[in-house]
């Protein structure tokens, strides 16, 4: 909401990095997301990069070559850091200023003859790391369709709890087990209690699931005791990524009352490595979800005409699955669902404002996630719990295999992209991970 369109969004822009001009790329010159990497096989510290086509622009090297010397000194120093936290802490003016300069450097106007290609690292030769030192992680429950779908499975007569339409529900997650895309995760163990059992048992989860979500990183946060107001909330958001909030449904079902998710969630959360800035998403802003007639209006601290008009994002998320057998046979990943982030009941600004309304302080690099992105239509459910109807409806894969929940060696792949006529498509890359057998 705080970003307007400028020359960096011009769809006619082309880069001298040829792969950035391909129609299906996630990383055209109009995107320029930030991430952290190191070159494979080299004993070196991590450094900040920007995705452009199938390459990574090395910001530390840009600084060394004097290509960013016109920028403020503190911004140049942030570009040399081993993670994005210092850049996030400077605020959106810094990422906006830097993005504009990088757009100039990467523009196809003859500069490449003097810049050369030594600024670039092929993505296939890089290890993509967590983009920030994540101090805290909060997971919301912002899709009314997901909340209703899950509620019907457990409470058919009363799917939504009384507070759902009045405030953004969330729980405090585990930051230490957040991992970058491509990290394999072991099937978790824990206590489970089936309906026919008199006592619980301990062992590997049998109902392992994913949840496709959108995450957002905090830039400039707030001081303890100073809530964030809604019309300025997005000034505190640095950018967005994709999130897979892995979930052990059987462990979760036994443990979650009365205090909510614990071991059924904390064994791993996967995020995509590239952070797409709010500025890059400016062309894809849209109205917030239109509440059905009869739903309560948000309280004043969650209400804003600006948020209603531009609080949504026209972002499509997809989740795919590839089994070990599919990989062996060279079969492409199977599309499980596709949903729109525009249909979330609560906006990013409302989630952030509610998080801070009691005075809770948010810090640069903190990660907040939206909760499962699901839609109203068949094929838009963002978890296997919903798709399989709690395991009662099997999904058939191209190999003839069936799934109700995840099997060992399954790989889950989440993708996201924004499209709008008259603008260049902007993508998020992939958020992927393979399930390994329990230890």
Residues designated as active site: 146
Give phi and psi for 218, each to the nearest 5.
-80, 135
Which residues contact residue 145 at a Cβ distance below 8 angstroms, ignoring those fewer than 6 apart? 343, 374, 375, 376, 380, 381
Residue whose C-alpha is closest to residue 321's, from 232, 208, 417: 208
Contact 382, 211 (CB under 8 A): yes
Angle made by CA atoms 303, 308, 309, in degrees to the nearest 5: 145
Q: What stretches of 38-132 show up as alpha helix (H) in DSSP?
A: 59-64, 73-79, 85-90, 92-106, 112-115
- Beta strands 426-436 and 185-186, pairing class: parallel
Query: DSSP assignment, residue 389?
Result: T
In angstroms, rounded to a whole number, what is the distance separating the alpha carbons of residues 110 and 116?
11
In angstroms, rounded to a whole number, what is the distance separating the alpha carbons of residues 128 and 131?
8
Which H or E element spans position 382? none
Which residues contact residue 218 at a Cβ distance below 8 angstroms, ignoring those fewer than 6 apart? 88, 236, 237, 238, 362, 363, 364, 365, 366, 367, 368
Contacts 24+ apart (CB under 8 A), 56-62: 56/120, 56/121, 56/122, 56/123, 56/126, 57/102, 57/105, 57/106, 57/119, 57/120, 58/119, 58/120, 58/121, 61/118, 61/119, 62/105, 62/119
Backbone angle region of 229, left / alpha / beta, with phi > 0 → left and psi within -120 to 50 → alpha: beta
């Amino acid at each position: 909401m705080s970003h307007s369109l400028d020359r960096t969004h011009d769809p006619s822009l082309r880069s001298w990095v040829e792969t950035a001009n391909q129609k299906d790329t996630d990383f055209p010159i109009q995107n320029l997301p930030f991430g952290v990497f190191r070159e494979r096989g080299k004993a070196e510290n991590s450094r900040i990069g920007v995705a452009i086509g199938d390459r990574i622009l090395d910001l530390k090297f840009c600084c060394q070559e004097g290509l960013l010397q016109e920028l403020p000194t503190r911004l140049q120093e942030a570009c040399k850091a081993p993670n994005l936290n210092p850049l996030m802490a400077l605020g959106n003016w810094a990422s906006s200023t830097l993005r504009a300069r990088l757009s100039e450097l990467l523009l196809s106007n003859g500069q490449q003859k003097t810049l050369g290609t030594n600024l670039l690292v092929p993505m296939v030769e890089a290890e993509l790391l967590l983009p920030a030192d994540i101090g805290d992680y909060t997971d919301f429950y912002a899709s009314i369709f997901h909340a209703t779908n899950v509620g019907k499975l457990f409470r058919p007569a009363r799917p939504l709890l009384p507070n759902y339409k009045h405030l953004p529900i969330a729980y405090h997650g585990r930051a230490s087990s957040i991992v970058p895309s491509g990290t394999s995760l072991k099937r978790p163990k824990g206590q489970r209690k089936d309906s026919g059992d008199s006592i619980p048992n301990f062992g590997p989860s049998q109902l392992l699931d994913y949840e496709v979500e959108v995450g957002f990183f905090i830039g400039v946060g707030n001081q303890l005791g100073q809530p964030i107001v809604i019309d300025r909330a997005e000034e505190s958001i640095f950018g967005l990524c994709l999130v897979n909030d892995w979930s052990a449904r059987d462990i979760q079902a036994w443990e979650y009352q009365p205090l909510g998710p614990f071991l059924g969630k904390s064994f791993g959360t996967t995020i995509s490595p590239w952070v797409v800035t709010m500025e890059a998403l400016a062309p894809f802003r849209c109205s917030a979800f239109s509440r059905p007639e009869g739903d309560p209006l948000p309280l004043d601290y969650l209400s804003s005409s600006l948020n209603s008009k531009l609080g949504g994002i026209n972002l499509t998320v997809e989740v795919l699955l590839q089994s070990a057998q599919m990989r062996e046979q060279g079969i492409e990943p199977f599309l499980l669902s596709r949903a729109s982030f525009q249909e979330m009941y609560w906006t990013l600004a409302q989630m952030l404002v509610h998080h801070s309304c009691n005075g809770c302080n948010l810090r640069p690099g903190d990660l907040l996630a939206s909760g499962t992105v699901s839609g109203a239509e068949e094929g838009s459910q963002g978890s296997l719990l919903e798709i399989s109807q709690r395991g009662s409806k099997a999904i058939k894969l191209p190999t003839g295999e069936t799934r109700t929940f995840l099997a060992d060696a399954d790989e889950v792949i989440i993708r996201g992209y924004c499209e709008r006529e008259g603008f260049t498509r902007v993508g998020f890359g992939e958020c992927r991970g393979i399930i390994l057998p329990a230890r």
